[in-house]
Amino acid sequence: MSDWKEGSDARLPLYQRLREEIMDRIASGEWPPGGTIPTEAELTRRYGIAVGTVRRAIDTLVNEGLLERSQGRGTFVRRPDFDASFFRFFRQVNAEGESRVPSSRILSATLSTPPVEASRALGLADNEPCLCLDRLRTLEDDSLLTEKIWLPASRFSGLLEVPLEEFGTLLYPFYEARFGQRIGSARETLTIASADASTAGRLGIAPRDPVVVIERIALGYDRTPLEYRCSMGAAATFRYQIEIS
């Protein structure tokens, strides 16, 4: 007997329906990040479809980076390392050249009207209020990044009651543990801008000095926008590195 969730769109090709089904079960927490999904044989029996169709759906999600196969162990829900992008872009060494892991601190959490780009990225109505986190990332005594992070209030109810010290260094595990919101993927855009007085003061640079701006839209496993963030760092500490083979 098939086990499609109510609301599954029968107009879609079967592999596409299964892809959406798998994403929905991941987003709901039934198949959590880091865990395995049922085997191809189990999915074939559960949904009453051919193994080739199941394999195509899984291949699509593997190519999209949401699942990963492990030989002899099964297919896992991938938990991406989102902070790695910042660590590629900004130097993380002290005066002696030793590698260090940046720390982070939430300076404030407020409810306010987001800028147009944040509202559009999150799919909010005009002037719909949004939760805003103001965060500073530091490397020892030096400011590395200043960030504004916008979250839809409907999905993060109760966030303003959380003491700032309880947010922790990594926000995505915090979102998952406290609000059941799981980040599955993200898109980032890098641009260069001039620092305004406030940003310059945060980063310890002069006003109008160049800064690298990283805009990120983070999505749930069902592709719902869950976070918009704008991070700024001094261009003098920026580096770009890529391996080409």
- Domain over 14-77 is classified CATH 1.10.10.10: yes
Same fold, 14-77 and 84-237: no
Each residue's pLDDT, cut to its tens digit, for the chain (245 residues) gives 567 776 667 788 999 999 999 988 988 888 988 899 999 999 999 999 999 999 999 999 999 888 999 988 999 998 877 666 555 666 555 555 555 667 889 999 999 999 999 999 999 998 899 999 999 998 878 898 999 999 999 999 999 999 999 998 889 989 999 999 989 888 999 999 999 999 999 999 999 999 999 999 999 988 899 999 999 999 988 776 666 66
CB 132 within 8 A of CB 110: yes
CATH class of 84-237: alpha beta
Work out the end-to-end distance of the chain between its first and last CA atoms, rounded to an integer number of angstroms: 48
What is the value of pTM for the model shown?
0.77
The residues spanned by each domain of the chain are 14-77, 84-237
The whole-angstrom separation of Cα 116 and Cα 85 is: 25
CB 43 within 8 A of CB 54: yes
